[in-house]
């Protein structure tokens, strides 16, 4: 698989979530097989029709009528998601050249390659909403669209590759599994594919941390340090608390979103506590403890002011990440122009031959 | 191994997202072949060195790669020139290895041959696109070919003791490269300069830096598992 020989151990990670992805996929197929109600009648109100399709757990497809705000919300969300995959190549790409074994190097290369693939897949999903990838890339480069706050943190040691896999990919999956049931068909289908690969990545990250946590004292310290640095930024990936989340209510009504930020964050914490235990690593939260009444862990909230600072551009690596992306884009301009010129010449030749 | 290390430097820096995937993919293929070859070399040596010991614990004077692969990436044209020439050499090499008497080498050759064919297609297409694209891309592609060409001589240095004597691969290389350069409107340089020494462990000044980066973490934790 992807040119590496890594096989995932049977551990506690990801298994339940992967099961959910598969259930969502089955549901998607079932919804497709169910007779969807026919096209709207000539005199039928399109908004009512849209609500009915969404209400019946059927998928909205690119040619369907949809509220303009629904289209815009989806474009914003899918594009931001795609941008995150592309920018997200950088923090991990930072360690490819220094990966400590050839096997780990191969796995990391394959992972970063998957991320580029996810980016392309998501841009294609966004394009079904009538926007072009070039336009979205332009919005990213101009800083008018965002990407996930998490990628503005630096990868300082090899253990960060483990922490990113375990915590960042873990949080991403918890966030994205419900999106496999999103009301917009192309996004739901993209998420199913993305989640399957992410789940694999999460296991790999977990495995890196597991090896380090059971390695030399220096490796153990490296692993703990990485978890200490990535824990809160990962919790913050779920977004602001429910009270301050601007888009939540409408997104829930449209069945783009299925659970609130805080619900998903709680779910992630509960999942991680058990896994940290197996890893033998400590989650850096003195107030983390089981709450019998809630049947969930109490935990300390991340610093949302910091989250806002990072989102607005003042995180540790925002400037570098954007500069890197812009440089790749600008340095490659002559290559893209050459490819276009070459393609035009070939097309012209074909026409001449045909004429 | 070294070619993989160089190609991987492009990750997240390529001119197009599709190309990012392609370059990472080729790096992964090269790394895969290197791992098979290094593991087998370690077994033949019988001194208990595995692929990681060979990759991470040898110094530059002990590396046997050709100079071509250790040259810096330069711009996209230089990278494509290196990729194209390397693949045009590796395809006949692995094809010949696939038929050699050593079963392990033959199996590695059979696997790597398929990948090389893909690398060659990819490299050739870009050499043509850049050579016959815009004025700017033509200028850069010709400069890249001029820069890299002398290093292709080393690929074919005769070694009758090798499972496949590299000297026998020259004609296949020329037959592949010639028509592509012509179609790309590029001229083959006439330089007589033929730098070499990689096979004897005498490298360019670039390799030591490449290894310093590649080996830094592994060497900082002697004996650790990863």
With H, G, I as helix, E, B as strand and everything else as coil, classify residue A291.
Answer: strand
- Tell me what pLDDT residue A152 has: 98
- Digit-coded pLDDT (tens) for B119-143: 999 999 999 999 999 999 999 999 9
Average pLDDT over all residues of chain A: 92
- Digit-coded pLDDT (tens) for B71-93: 999 999 999 999 999 999 999 99
Please report where in the chains the tokens 């949809």 appear, as a residue. Answer: A66
Instruction: State the pLDDT confidence band at A302, using cuts at 50, 70 and 90.
Output: very high
- Assess whether pLDDT exceeds 70 at residue A6: no
Instruction: State the pLDDT confidence band at A354, using cuts at 50, 70 and 90.
Output: confident
Q: Which of A234, A211, A230 is nearest to A280 (CA)?
A: A211
With H, G, I as helix, E, B as strand and everything else as coil, classify residue A183.
Answer: coil
- Digit-coded pLDDT (tens) for B150-172: 999 999 999 999 999 999 999 99
Q: Is B62 on the interface with A (CB under 8 A)?
A: no
Q: What distance in Å separates the CA atoms of residue A231 and residue A213, rounded to the nearest whole number?
A: 16
List Cα–Cα distances, B91 to A165, B82, B109, B116, B193, in angstroms.
36, 14, 9, 5, 25
Burial of A141 (0-12, 13-18, 19+ CB in 10 A): middle
Q: Under an 8 A CB cutoff, do B18 and A120 touch?
A: yes
- Tell me what pLDDT residue A15 has: 53
- Assess whether pLDDT exceeds 60 at residue A12: no
Give the mean pLDDT of A220-241. 97
Question: Taking CA atoms, what residue in B is nearest to A216?
Answer: B224
Give the mean pLDDT of A330-345. 98
Any long-range contacts for B203-208 (C-beta under 8 Å, 24+ apart)?
B203/B60, B203/B61, B203/B63, B203/B65, B203/B67, B203/B70, B204/B67, B204/B70, B204/B71, B206/B70, B206/B71, B206/B72, B207/B2, B207/B60, B207/B63, B207/B65, B207/B70, B208/B60
Q: Under an 8 A CB cutoff, do A216 and B140 touch?
A: no
Q: Under an 8 A CB cutoff, do A109 and B133 touch?
A: no
- Digit-coded pLDDT (tens) for B90-111: 999 999 999 999 999 999 999 9
Give the mean pLDDT of B181-205. 96
- Digit-coded pLDDT (tens) for A109-136: 999 999 999 999 999 999 999 999 999 9
Instruction: State the pLDDT confidence band at A191, using cuts at 50, 70 and 90.
Output: very high
Q: How far is A348 from chain B (nearest CA, A)?
A: 13
Question: Taking CA atoms, what residue in A is nearest to B77?
Answer: A335
Question: Taking CA atoms, what residue in A is nearest to B9?
Answer: A97
Q: Is B226 on the interface with A (CB under 8 A)?
A: yes
Token output for B18: 């599709």
Q: What distance in Å separates the CA atoms of residue A159 and residue A175, rounded to the nearest whole number?
A: 23
What are the chain B neighbours of A147 within 8 Å (beta carbons)? none
What are the chain B neighbours of A89 within 8 Å (beta carbons)? 11-12, 20
| From A32-41, A169-178, B15-24, B106-115, the region with the lowest mean pLDDT | A32-41
In this prediction, does ipTM exceed 0.90?
yes
State the best of A109, A223, A345 to mutate against chain B, taking most chain B CBs within 10 Å: A109
Q: Are B34 and B162 in contact (CB under 8 A)?
A: no
Question: Which of A120, A158, A215 minimises the CB distance to B17?
Answer: A120
Question: Which of A102, A120, A335 minimises the CB distance to B55?
Answer: A102
Q: Are B97 and B109 in contact (CB under 8 A)?
A: yes
Give the mean pLDDT of A264-285. 97
- Tell me what pLDDT residue A35 has: 63
For chain A, how big is the Rg over CA atoms in Å?
Answer: 22
Q: Which residues pair with A184 in a beta bridge?
A: A60
Q: Under an 8 A CB cutoff, do A106 and B28 touch?
A: yes
- Tell me what pLDDT residue A36 has: 66
State the best of A100, A103, A121, A204 to mutate against chain B, taking most chain B CBs within 10 Å: A100
Instruction: State the pLDDT confidence band at A20, using cuts at 50, 70 and 90.
Output: confident
- Assess whether pLDDT exceeds 50 at residue B182: yes
Q: Which residues contact A18 (CB under 8 A, 6 or more apart)?
A: A195, A196, A199
Q: What distance in Å separates the CA atoms of residue A88 and residue A321, rounded to the nearest whole number?
A: 9
Question: Taking CA atoms, what residue in B is nearest to A337?
Answer: B134
Please report where in the chains the tokens 């992410």 appear, as a residue. Answer: A198
Which residues numbered 117-176 in B keep a CB inside 8 Å of some CB on A? 128-130, 132-134, 136-137, 140
Q: Are A117 and A180 in contact (CB under 8 A)?
A: no
- Digit-coded pLDDT (tens) for A61-90: 999 999 999 999 999 999 999 999 999 999
State the DSSP code for A289.
E
Q: Is A101 on the interface with B (CB under 8 A)?
A: yes
Any long-range contacts for A282-290 (C-beta under 8 Å, 24+ apart)?
A282/A224, A282/A227, A283/A227, A283/A231, A284/A227, A284/A228, A284/A231, A284/A232, A285/A231
Q: Under an 8 A CB cutoff, do A113 and B136 touch?
A: no
- Tell me what pLDDT residue A7 has: 39
Q: What distance in Å separates the CA atoms of residue A158 and residue A175, rounded to the nearest whole number?
A: 25
Question: Could you tell me what percent of chain A has a pLDDT over 70?
Answer: 95
| From A36-40, A328-332, B84-88, the region with the lowest mean pLDDT | A36-40
Q: Under an 8 A CB cutoff, do B213 and A98 touch?
A: yes
List Cα–Cα distances, A251 to A74, A77, A147, A183, in angstroms.
9, 10, 18, 10
Q: How far is B50 from chain A (nearest CA, A)?
A: 11
What are the chain A neighbours of B29 within 8 Å (beta carbons)? 3
Q: Which residues contact A127 (CB under 8 A, 6 or more apart)?
A: A133
CA atoms within 13 A on the CB side of B169: 29
State the best of A322, A332, A338, A339 to mutate against chain B, taking most chain B CBs within 10 Å: A338
- Assess whether pLDDT exceeds 70 at residue A290: yes
Q: How far is A66 from chain B (nearest CA, A)?
A: 30
Q: What distance in Å separates the CA atoms of residue A264 and residue A177, rounded to the nearest whole number?
A: 10
- Tell me what pLDDT residue A115 has: 97
- Tell me what pLDDT residue B81 has: 98
Give the mean pLDDT of A319-324. 98
Report how many Cβ contacts below 8 Å link chain A to chain B: 148
- Tell me what pLDDT residue A10 has: 43
Q: Are B152 and B85 in contact (CB under 8 A)?
A: yes
Average pLDDT over all residues of chain B: 97
Compute the CA torsion angle A308, A309, A315, A320 (nearest 10 deg).
100
State the best of B28, B118, B119, B210 to mutate against chain A, taking most chain A CBs within 10 Å: B28
Question: Which of B13, B25, B217 minimises the CB distance to A98?
Answer: B217
Q: Are B15 and A331 in contact (CB under 8 A)?
A: yes
Q: Which residue has the higher pLDDT, A25 or B66?
A: B66
What are the chain A neighbours of B225 within 8 Å (beta carbons)? 211, 215
Q: Under an 8 A CB cutoff, do B225 and A211 touch?
A: yes
Q: How far is B94 from chain A (nearest CA, A)?
A: 18
Question: Taking CA atoms, what residue in B is nearest to A113?
Answer: B21
Q: How far is B220 from chain A (nearest CA, A)?
A: 10
Q: What distance in Å separates the CA atoms of residue A217 and residue A195, rounded to the nearest whole number?
A: 34
Give the mean pLDDT of A99-109. 98
- Assess whether pLDDT exceeds 90 at residue A155: yes
């Amino acid at each position: 698989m992807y040119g590496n020989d890594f096989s995932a151990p049977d551990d506690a990670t990801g298994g339940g979530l992967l099961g959910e992805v598969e259930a969502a996929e089955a549901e998607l197929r079932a919804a497709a097989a169910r007779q969807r109600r026919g096209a709207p009648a000539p005199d039928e109100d399109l908004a009512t029709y849209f609500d009915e399709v969404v209400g019946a757990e059927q998928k909205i497809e690119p040619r369907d009528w949809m509220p303009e705000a629904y289209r815009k919300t989806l474009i914003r969300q899918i594009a931001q998601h795609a941008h995150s995959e592309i920018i997200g190549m950088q923090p991990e790409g930072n360690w490819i050249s220094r990966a400590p074994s050839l096997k780990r190097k191969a796995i990391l290369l394959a992972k970063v390659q998957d991320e580029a693939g996810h980016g392309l897949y998501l841009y294609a999903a966004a394009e079904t909403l009538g926007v072009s990838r070039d336009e979205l890339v332009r919005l990213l480069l101009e800083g008018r669209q965002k990407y996930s706050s998490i990628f503005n943190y630096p990868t300082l040691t090899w253990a960060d590759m483990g922490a990113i896999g375990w915590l960042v990919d873990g949080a991403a999956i918890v966030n994205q599994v419900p999106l496999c049931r999103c009301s917009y068909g192309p996004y739901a289908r993209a998420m199913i594919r993305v989640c399957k690969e992410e789940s694999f990545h999460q296991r790999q990250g977990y495995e890196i941390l597991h090896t380090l946590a059971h390695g030399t004292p220096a490796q153990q310290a490296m692993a703990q340090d990485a978890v200490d640095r990535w824990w809160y930024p990962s919790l913050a990936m779920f977004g602001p608390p429910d009270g301050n989340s601007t888009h939540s209510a409408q997104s829930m009504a449209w069945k783009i979103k299925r659970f609130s930020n805080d619900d998903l964050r709680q779910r992630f914490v509960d999942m991680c506590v058990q896994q940290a235990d197996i890893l033998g690593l400590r989650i850096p939260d003195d107030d983390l403890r089981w709450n019998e009444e809630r049947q969930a862990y109490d935990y300390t909230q991340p610093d949302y002011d910091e989250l806002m600072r990072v989102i607005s551009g003042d995180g540790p690596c925002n400037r570098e990440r954007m500069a890197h992306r812009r440089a790749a884009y600008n340095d490659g301009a002559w290559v893209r122009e050459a490819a276009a010129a070459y393609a035009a010449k070939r097309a012209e030749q074909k026409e001449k031959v045909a004429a | 191994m070294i070619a993989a290390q160089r190609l991987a430097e492009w990750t997240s820096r390529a001119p197009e997202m599709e190309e990012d995937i392609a370059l990472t993919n080729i790096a992964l293929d090269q790394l895969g072949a290197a791992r098979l070859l290094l593991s087998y070399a370690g077994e033949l040596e019988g001194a208990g060195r595995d692929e990681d010991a060979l990759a991470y614990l040898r110094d530059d004077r002990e590396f046997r790669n050709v100079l071509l692969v250790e040259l810096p990436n330069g711009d996209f044209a230089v990278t494509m020139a290196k990729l194209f020439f390397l693949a045009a050499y590796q395809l006949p090499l692995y094809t010949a290895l696939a038929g050699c008497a050593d079963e392990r080498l033959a199996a590695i050759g059979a696997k790597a041959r398929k990948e090389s064919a893909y690398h060659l297609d990819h490299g050739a297409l870009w050499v043509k696109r850049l050579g016959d694209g815009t004025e700017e891309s033509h200028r850069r592609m010709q400069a890249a070919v001029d820069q890299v060409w002398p290093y292709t001589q080393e690929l074919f240095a005769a070694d009758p003791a090798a499972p496949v004597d590299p000297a026998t691969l020259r004609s296949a290389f020329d037959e592949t490269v010639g028509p592509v350069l012509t179609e790309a409107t590029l001229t083959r340089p006439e330089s007589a300069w033929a730098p070499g020494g990689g096979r004897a462990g005498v490298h360019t000044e670039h390799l030591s830096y490449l290894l310093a980066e590649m080996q830094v973490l592994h060497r900082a934790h002697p004996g650790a598992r990863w």
